Chains A and B, each alone.
Chain A
Amino acid sequence: MTRDFRLRKRSILAALALLLAADVAFALYSWKMGSSPRDQNQDLADQTRQLKILQADVERAKGIQSRMPAIQADCDKFEHSLFSASTGYSSVTADLDGLAKKAAAQVQDLAFKQQEIPARNLTSVEVTASVIGNYSSVVRFVNGLQRSGNLYTLEGLTLGGDNQNPGHNSPIKVTLHLLTYFRSAA
């Protein structure tokens, strides 16, 4: 009977030791795992962020790729809207005179300086225009230039030096620095 219980006790102790050892093992494993999922989550978040950036890049590039023919057509359309080099000067002169007349101003003097733009079949033309009128007509002229169907980029504006404190109705002389482009014959 005593020998039986000794055996039983040993078995119970062995089972308890096994259970406790399993607890310790699980505890160690849990402790070890405790830090790794956080790192993995961080890694996953970083990778997902990178993926989204890459996705946006690719989508944008695909969008541009699909619009390439339209972009090319727009470029052609824009270049065809420019004055032709063969008739450019007369067209600009007539256009500016017309705009000045509409604005009740007068183009007194025009100076041109042209420069070929290599490999683009374009010529950039700097136009220096002296315009006389009152303040309102000059503003109307500038407005007309901006709204014109022809391309003029107003780069700067200088008031003539002999203007005596111009008011809205006193005449002023303004020098406009414009830039336009001529389409060279292909």
Chain B
Amino acid sequence: MRARINLATKALVTHRRFLTASGAIAVVAGIIFLALGWHVYSARKSEAEIRAKANEVRLQSARLELERDALQRYFALPENAKVHDRAVFINGIIDARSFNWTQMFMDLERVLPGGVHLLSIEPKQVKGRVEVKLRVGATSEDAKIKFLRALEASREFTRIALDNDGPATGTTGDVSTLSLTAVYSRI
């Protein structure tokens, strides 16, 4: 007859739970480590690229600033400054001359009703736009109102400001004279 006898002097201790838990933690921590590592690597790579681009931009800026300084010195030379001054003066004359009077007369004809006629007209270049000072005579109140309405409705004459509406002077047969300012533009 055989009998099983446990001859161990200490109780059997199993480490499976510890090994399983530590293994699981190691796997999760390892995955996190890899993910964060990859993120840090890519972030550092893109940072390095940005730094390189920024350096390139700084170098180009420095080179262009040198070029600009050289050009400024060139334009500041008395003979070149004189050419610039001449060109600005002549361009001013050409701009003033380029105002198209014929076109403006045609546009005015469209807004002048019967009984209203032009007494004076004076265009002026103000801040890149043409401001026209007009003086017109009207033979009746009705014609005057018609003219103002036509002017307000026109696309060519805008920002109309009526400076004066008074009785006509002289022997023109007008009942009133209007002085107004408008911005003239061809659209």
Which parts of A57-104 form the interface with B (CB within 8 Å)?
57-58, 61-62, 64-65, 68, 71-72, 74-75, 78-79
Interface majority SS on B: helix, strand, loop or mixed? helix
A62 partner residues in chain B, CB cutoff 8 A = 67, 71
Question: A23, A120, A155: which contacts B32 (Cβ < 8 A)?
Answer: A23
Bound-state CA distance A65–B72 (Å) is: 10
Q: Hey, which chain B residues are within 8 Å of A47, CB to CB?
A: 54, 57-58, 61
Per-residue contact bits, chain B 41-55, to A (CB 8 Å; 1 contact, 0 not): 001101100110110
Instruction: Report the separation of the CA atoms of residues A27 and B40 in the bound assembly, to the nearest whole angstrom.
Output: 9
B126 at the interface (CB under 8 A from A): no
State which of B92-100, B147-155, B158-166, B178-186 sits at the interface with chain A: B92-100
- Chain B residues with a Cβ under 8 A of chain A: 10, 13, 15, 18-19, 22, 25-26, 29-30, 32-33, 36-37, 39-40, 43-44, 46-47, 50-51, 53-54, 57-58, 60-61, 64-65, 67-68, 71-72, 74-75, 80, 83, 86-87, 89-90, 93, 96-97, 99-102, 105, 115, 117-123, 139, 170-174
Assess the A16–B97 pair: CB atoms within 8 A. no
The yes or no answer to A20 lying at the interface (CB within 8 A) is yes
Interface residues of A in 2-48 (CB under 8 A from B): 2, 5, 9, 12-13, 15-16, 19-20, 22-23, 26-27, 29-30, 33, 36-37, 40-41, 43-44, 47-48
Give me the interface of A with B, judged by CB distance under 8 Å.
2, 5, 9, 12-13, 15-16, 19-20, 22-23, 26-27, 29-30, 33, 36-37, 40-41, 43-44, 47-48, 50-51, 54-55, 57-58, 61-62, 64-65, 68, 71-72, 74-75, 78-79, 120, 139, 142-143, 145-146, 151-159, 161-166, 177, 179, 181
Cβ-defined contact, A33 with B54, below 8 A: no
A88 to B60, CA, bound (A): 54
A sample of 17 inter-chain contacts (CB < 8 A) reads A9-B18, A40-B54, A44-B50, A44-B53, A44-B57, A48-B57, A54-B65, A64-B75, A79-B90, A146-B97, A154-B101, A156-B121, A156-B123, A157-B101, A161-B119, A161-B171, A177-B122
Minimum CB–CB distance for B50 against chain A, Å:
5
Q: Tell me, rounded to whole Å, the shortest Cβ–Cβ distance linking A169 to chain B.
A: 14
**Of A5, A30, A44, A166, which one neighbours B15 at CB under 8 angstroms?**
A5
CB <8 Å contact, B33 and A19: yes
Query: Are B172 and A161 touching (Cβ within 8 A)?
Result: yes
Chain B nearest CB: distance from A145 CB in Å? 8
Quote the shortest CB–CB distance from A176 to chain B (angstroms). Answer: 10
When C-beta atoms are compared, the residue in chain B nearest to A176 turns out to be B101
Q: Which B residues are in CB contact (< 8 Å) with A154?
A: 99, 101
Contacts of A51 in B (CB 8 A): 57, 60-61, 64
Q: Which 10 A-B pairs have the closest CB atoms?
A: A26-B36, A156-B122, A158-B120, A61-B71, A19-B29, A75-B86, A143-B102, A47-B57, A153-B97, A40-B50
Enumerate chain A residues within 8 angstroms of B119, measured Cβ to Cβ: 158-159, 161
Chain A residues lying within 8 Å of B47, measured Cβ to Cβ, are: 33, 36-37, 40
Indicate whether A26 sits within 8 Å of B102 (C-beta atoms), given known contacts A61-B68, A156-B122, A162-B171: no
Task: For B30, list chain A residues within 8 Å (CB).
Answer: 19
